[in-house]
Amino acid sequence: MIVISGYSAFAWWRTPPIIRDTILPVDAVRNSPVLTRRFKTLLMRPSRQNEGAVTEPLRSRILSDLKGIPLPIEVCTDDITRHKPTPLYTVRHANVETLKPHLVDLGGGLYVASPELAVVQMMRCISDVDALKLLYEATGLYAVFTQTPLAGIAANLIKQEQGTACWNAASKQGMSAYWDEYGSRCPMPGDEDVAASWAPCLSRSGAMTTLWKRPPITTRERYELEVARMRHLSGLKRARKLAPLIIEGAGSPLETNMVMIICLPPELGGEGWSAPYLNRRIALSPSAQLLSGSSFCIGDQVWPDSKLVLEENGREYHTDRDGFAEHSGRRAALESMGYTVQEITYAQMSRYEQLEAILLSIAAQFDFPLQPRTPTFIGKRKGLISLLFSKQQGEKSR
């Protein structure tokens, strides 16, 4: 058995199905100006009789369902043969039989770790905050997909065959609400509809970004259940302690960052506020509908009892170019119903002094608790901000 594990497994789960399912023609690879000659030779040379037990299953699929995983691919196997690292993969020996309940069979003797197992496997080399960022993404409505060179070729082929209209159409179909107006989870697409539910978030110029909208790939309950069943894995104790800190439904990395700042416990630099509903539908009154042009709106972070809506504003995180044109009407509609709408930008969130002013204002208005501003806490808060706004966890510069 060969198991794609750790970061590589999470990258597999991040890959949009339309990219993953596109099989690259050999000519497209051979003629690509972005691939080195050595890399092309590695991918396209004929199979050898002495091809390793790991090499051939990976190499034969790198142009199909593995193209979204940055190289080298991290795998583990129960094959006791000594494997040297190659440009294609790195191998770690493991008792994969014990991992079977947490694996997805990709066929041909190849498996991928579940999202829950992938995060646990990464606990050896990432902080609790970085692990939570991945878990908020996994239980949220987005994926951060940084194109590999091969995935870029696939995206260009799709655009050539279907035109840019395919991205524009898909971007209108992405999931936007996690909770309904009654506080229940919105229905999620069935297995046969999941692929069609992935939608790229486009820039104002219509170009694809690294952000894709998609249904959650796990839930907090499922994560708790899976890590409770796991045994004999490094980092498992830490992974189990993170489960109560997961807040489901984030719609972007910016939303994840903000909710972690306000809701994580103080020992991690958070404010310890009660969890809001993330991306909850709010039914609008008839008069409010006239202001917004819609029967409902979706709040990034909603405290229904306090009638507070916190909105994270970053143009790159809206799935269509009309998002900000609709924003003013939505705010007016909510305020007409007695809601307070507090906006915060990336720049304000990532700068301690500006963030502090906003949090103090919200706390004073809604009687939310504030942690004592001791030197220790301030240091942890600044450290949390630094971790959240450094390079996106899970992205490798290769």
Is the pLDDT reported for residue 272 higher than 80?
yes
Count Cα atoms within 13 angstroms, Cβ side, for 227: 25
Tell me, what's the pLDDT at 390?
Answer: 84
In three-state secondary structure terms, 46 is coil
Q: What percent of the chain has pLDDT over 90?
A: 69
**From the CB of residue 300, how many other CB atoms can be counted at a distance below 10 Å?**
25
Q: Where are the alpha helices (DSSP H) in 125-229?
A: 128-138, 149-162, 165-171, 220-229
Which pLDDT does position 393 carry in this prediction? 44
- pLDDT of amino acid 326: 56
More confident residue, 394 or 94: 94
Which among 339, 387, 377, 335 is positioned nearest to 356, based on CA atoms? Answer: 377
> pLDDT category, 190, cuts 50, 70, 90?
confident
Q: How far apart are CA 250 and CA 279, in angstroms?
A: 7
- Predicted TM-score (pTM) of the model is 0.92
The predicted structure's pLDDT at residue 44: 79
For residues 364 and 247, what is the distance between their CA atoms, to the nearest angstrom? 24
Whether the Cβ atoms of residue 139 and residue 115 lie closer than 8 Å to each other: no
CB atoms within 10 A of CB 385: 18
CA distance 246 to 244: 6
Give tens-digit pLDDT for 306-337. Answer: 999 999 986 544 444 344 445 668 899 999 99
- pLDDT exceeds 70 at position 147: yes
Question: For residue 115, which of 189, 197, 14, 19 has the smallest C-alpha distance?
Answer: 14
What was the pLDDT predicted at 169? 55
Say whether 9 sits in a helix, a strand or coil: helix
What value does the mean pLDDT take over residues 172-189?
A: 86
pLDDT of residue 369: 96
More confident residue, 76 or 175: 76
User: Distance between CA atoms of 378 and 270, rounded to whole angstroms?
Assistant: 10
- Strands 2-4 and 73-77, how do they pair? antiparallel
Average pLDDT, the chain: 89
The pLDDT score that the predictor gives to residue 166 is 64
Dihedral sign from CA coordinates of 361, 364, 365, 368: positive
Dihedral sign computed on CA atoms, order 373, 240, 275, 199: positive
- Structure confidence at residue 378 (pLDDT): 98
For 348-361, what is the mean pLDDT? Answer: 97
Query: pLDDT tier at 205 (50, 70, 90 boundaries)?
Result: confident
Dist CA 392 CA 364 (whole Å)? 32
Mean pLDDT value across residues 338-357: 96
Alpha helices in the chain (DSSP H): 6-14, 17-20, 26-30, 37-44, 55-59, 115-122, 128-138, 149-162, 165-171, 220-229, 236-242, 253-263, 286-292, 323-336, 346-349, 352-366, 375-388
Which of 314, 341, 309, 198 lies closest to 257, judged by CA? 314
What integer is the mean pLDDT of 350-373?
Answer: 97
Name the one residue in this structure whose structure tokens are 């509908």: 289
Round to whole Å and give the CA distance between 321 and 252: 16
- The strands making up 142-144's β-sheet, listed across from edge to edge, are 142-144, 208-213, 199-202
Residue 170: which pLDDT band, with cuts at 50, 70 and 90?
low
Between strands 199-202 and 208-213, the pairing is: antiparallel
Residue 300, classed as helix, strand or coil, is strand
State how beta strands 308-313 and 340-345 pair.
Answer: parallel
Q: Does the structure show a pLDDT above 80 at 187?
A: yes
Residue 48 has pLDDT above 70, yes or no: no
Instruction: Say what the pLDDT of residue 317 is.
Output: 45
Q: What is the pLDDT of residue 80?
A: 67
* Token pair recorded at residue 10: 């999470």
128 φ, ψ (degrees, to nearest 5): -60, -40
| pLDDT at residue 394 greater than cutoff 60 | no
**Which of 67-76, 169-178, 196-205, 218-227 has the weakest average pLDDT?**
169-178
In terms of Cβ atoms closer than 10 Å to its own Cβ (0-12, 13-18, 19+), residue 267 is exposed
- Tell me, what's the pLDDT at 328? 67
DSSP state, 83?
A: -
